[in-house]
């Protein structure tokens, strides 16, 4: 009898355990269904191979480059440019997981009332299985969202304003704005050229010194700070994608020329006149790149006028 009771208790325990895990499975399944119930698209982020953003007269085409398992993306229109990876990742994630707030119309014969006959913004994507599209029309009267249409469907969705804003990016938002590509810790040579002179600094045994003048004591932190500023500098704006005449920007005879070098290559930036539109910015140009940009003027405020400005004070 005791043996039979033990068997019965064991069977009951197994059944209760099965019921417990079944309930968990059902709850997880319901939660997953709830999460994807209003999701507009059924693809994974890594399946995206291209994205096109059409807003007004601007069309931006983004393309995944290299092998399909790579994450590199580049801009291929209206210009060819590298991208800002965090912005691209955010855009892809938003698109793949986009949800609608509610359905406005199951079958709209007149799209004009929603502004979808002539969309203000359209995003076209391509995944391994083919292309897809989402068009945005007018904003709602209470400004809580935008009317949207998926592909050629007649169904009209409401998409939250913040979600539309996260998708509707401009060229400047998505392109890489970094000017230098060198790593600050690998810089071995730093050249400053101004109207008042030219100074070449080299790094030897972990310390900066003037070339051919080892005895001259230099402010190490000041040099390191300047180098970091330039290496991590970003364009505040792109004034011209390509220009033949540099004189209007004060770059024909630049106010300063900064050269940074590691063991393999050098990169140079020309510093020009203050911006005509913003007195907090200065025109600049990387020597081997076609674009004229503006940079924040604080980047050049500490460039020394003479080598004495770098002299380490005696303690």
CATH assignment at residue 110: 2.60.40
Chain mean pLDDT for the chain? 89
Query: How many structural domains comprise the chain?
Result: 2
Query: Which tokens in the block code for residue 265?
Result: 């290559």
Q: Over the chain, what HEC string results?
A: CHHHHHHHHHHHHHHHHHHHHHHHHHHHHHHHHHHHCCECCCCCHHHCCEEEEEECCEEEEEEECCCCCCCCEEEEECCCEEECHHHHHHHHHHHHCCECCEEEECCCCCCHHHCCCCCCEEEEEEECCEEEEEEEEEECCCCCEEEEEECCCCCEEEEEHHHHHHHCCCHHHHECCECCCCCHHHCCEEEEEECCEEEEEEEECCEEEECCECCCCECHHHHHHHHHHHHCCECCEEEECCCCCCHHHCCCCCCEEEEEECCCCEEEEEEEEECCCCCCEEEEEECCCCCEEEEECHHHHCCCCCHHHHECCCC
88 or 7: which leads in pLDDT: 88
pLDDT value at position 307? 86
Return the minimum-mean-pLDDT range out of 3-7, 221-225, 264-268, 311-315.
Answer: 3-7
- Using the 3D structure, point to which of 146, 174, 202 is the last residue of a domain: 174
CB atoms closer than 10 angstroms to residue 284? 29
Flag whether 23 is in a domain: no
Flag whether 292 is in a domain: yes
Q: How confident is the model at residue 22 (pLDDT cuts 50, 70, 90)?
A: very low
pLDDT value at position 11? 58
- Using the 3D structure, point to which of 174, 199, 223 is the last residue of a domain: 174
Flag whether 136 is in a domain: yes
Q: How confident is the model at residue 214 (pLDDT cuts 50, 70, 90)?
A: confident
Torsion of CA 8, 10, 12, 18, to 10 degrees: -150
CATH of the domain at 239: 3.30.1490
- State whether 190 and 295 are in the same domain: yes
25 or 312: which leads in pLDDT: 312
Flag whether 6 is in a domain: no
292 or 72: which leads in pLDDT: 292
For the whole prediction, is pTM greater than 0.85?
no
- State whether 165 and 146 are in the same domain: yes
pLDDT value at position 12? 57
Asked if 169 and 230 touch (Cβ cutoff 8 Å), the reply is no
**pLDDT per position as a tens digit, 127-157:** 999 999 999 999 999 999 999 999 999 999 9
- State whether 237 and 257 are in the same domain: yes
- State whether 155 and 189 are in the same domain: no
Question: Which residues, in sequence order, are CB contacts of 236 under 8 Å at separation 6+?
Answer: 278, 281, 293, 294, 295, 296
- State whether 54 and 142 are in the same domain: yes
The C-alpha atoms of residue 112 and residue 130 are separated, in whole angstroms, by 28
- State whether 55 and 170 are in the same domain: yes
- State whether 215 and 302 are in the same domain: yes
- State whether 162 and 81 are in the same domain: yes
Flag whether 98 is in a domain: yes
- State whether 162 and 193 are in the same domain: no
- State whether 250 and 135 are in the same domain: no
Instruction: Determine what percent of the chain is predicted with pLDDT higher than 70.
Output: 86
pLDDT value at position 118? 96
Q: Which of 167, 172, 175 is nearest to 53 (CA)?
A: 167
Q: How confident is the model at residue 100 (pLDDT cuts 50, 70, 90)?
A: very high
- State whether 211 and 243 are in the same domain: yes
- Using the 3D structure, point to which of 144, 174, 204 is the last residue of a domain: 174
Which domain does 192 fall in, by range? 184-310
Torsion of CA 91, 92, 93, 99, to 10 degrees: 80
Flag whether 157 is in a domain: yes
Flag whether 30 is in a domain: no
Flag whether 238 is in a domain: yes
How confident is the model over 220-242, as a mean pLDDT?
A: 95
pLDDT value at position 25? 42
- State whether 167 and 219 are in the same domain: no
């Amino acid at each position: 009898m005791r043996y039979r009771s033990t068997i019965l208790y064991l069977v009951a325990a197994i059944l209760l355990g099965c019921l417990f895990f079944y309930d968990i499975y059902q709850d997880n399944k319901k939660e997953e269904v709830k999460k994807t119930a209003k999701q507009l698209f059924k693809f994974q982020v890594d399946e995206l191979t291209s994205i096109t953003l059409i807003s007004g007269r601007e069309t931006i085409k983004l393309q995944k480059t290299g092998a399909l398992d790579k994450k590199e993306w580049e801009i291929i229109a209206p210009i060819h440019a590298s991208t800002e990876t965090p912005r691209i990742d955010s855009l892809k994630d938003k698109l793949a997981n986009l949800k609608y707030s509610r359905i406005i119309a199951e079958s709209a014969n007149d799209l004009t009332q929603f502004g979808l006959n002539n969309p203000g913004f359209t995003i076209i994507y391509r995944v391994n299985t083919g292309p897809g599209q989402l068009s945005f029309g007018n904003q709602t009267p209470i400004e809580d969202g935008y009317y949207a249409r998926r592909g050629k469907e007649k169904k009209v969705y409401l998409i939250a304003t913040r979600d539309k804003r996260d998708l509707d990016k401009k060229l400047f938002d998505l392109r890489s704005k970094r000017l230098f590509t060198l790593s600050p810790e690998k810089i071995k040579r730093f050249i400053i050229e101004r109207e008042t002179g030219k100074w070449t600094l080299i790094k030897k045994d972990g310390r900066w010194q003037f070339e051919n003048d080892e005895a001259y004591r230099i402010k190490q932190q000041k040099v390191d700070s300047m180098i970091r500023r330039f290496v991590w500098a970003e364009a505040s704006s792109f004034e011209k994608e390509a220009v033949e005449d540099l004189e209007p920007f004060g770059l024909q005879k630049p106010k300063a020329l900064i050269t940074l070098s590691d063991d393999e290559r050098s990169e140079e930036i020309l510093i020009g006149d203050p911006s005509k539109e913003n007195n907090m910015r200065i025109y600049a140009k990387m020597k081997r790149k076609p674009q004229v940009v503006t940079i924040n003027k604080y980047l050049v405020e500490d460039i020394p006028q003479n080598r004495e400005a770098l002299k380490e004070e005696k303690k």
